[in-house]
């Protein structure tokens, strides 16, 4: 029996940090709409400042640190990928295009054959 490990927010401090980050996002959105009479600079300034602060609070939480570690692992794995040379990429692309054309012709021929069988031979409907 395989056990699946579920990671949840553990400590109370981490839960508070995540709650504060969510509250900061909500507060920055509220400030954006409440400052509509002060002008666009005040609106966007409050929104951006609130969102930046929310991101900072999120990143200092355990969940944020795990997210950053995941991103770093992903970048490290992408660097390991061996990309094809230009010639090889062009050949593979040409193979795909040829396959698509052949498949389109096959499906068109099948469609026309079935149309002929059903409408002309079986039903007798002449066009």
Q: What is the DSSP letter of 11?
A: S
Residue-wise burial string across 101-117, b where 16 or more C-beta atoms lie within 10 A, e elsewhere: eeeeeeeeeeeeeeeee
Cα(72)–Cα(68) distance, integer angstroms: 6
Q: Which of 58, 36, 37, 59 is nearest to 47 (CA)?
A: 36
pLDDT score, position 6: 55
pLDDT for 121 equals: 84
Please report where in the chains the tokens 């056990």 appear, as a residue: 3
For range 104-121, the mean pLDDT: 94
Model pLDDT for residues 50-92, shown as the tens digit of each residue: 999 999 999 999 999 999 999 999 999 999 999 899 999 999 9
Q: Indicate if the pLDDT at residue 10 is higher than 90.
A: no
How much is the pLDDT for 7?
A: 59
The pLDDT score that the predictor gives to residue 32 is: 95
pLDDT of residue 124: 78
Of 52, 44, 45, 63, the closest CA to residue 24 belongs to 52
């Amino acid at each position: 029996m395989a056990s699946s490990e579920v990671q949840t927010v553990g400590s109370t401090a981490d839960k508070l940090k995540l709650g504060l980050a969510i509250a900061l996002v909500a507060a920055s959105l509220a400030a954006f709409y409440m400052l509509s009479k002060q002008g666009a600079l005040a609106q966007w300034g409050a929104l951006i400042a609130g969102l930046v602060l929310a991101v900072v609070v999120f990143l200092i939480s355990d969940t944020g640190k795990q997210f950053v570690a995941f991103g770093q692992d992903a970048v490290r794995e992408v660097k390991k990928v061996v990309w094809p040379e230009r010639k090889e990429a062009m050949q593979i692309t040409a193979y795909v295009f040829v396959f698509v054309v052949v498949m389109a012709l096959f499906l068109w021929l099948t469609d026309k054959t079935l149309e002929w069988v059903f409408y002309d031979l079986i039903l007798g409907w002449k066009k």
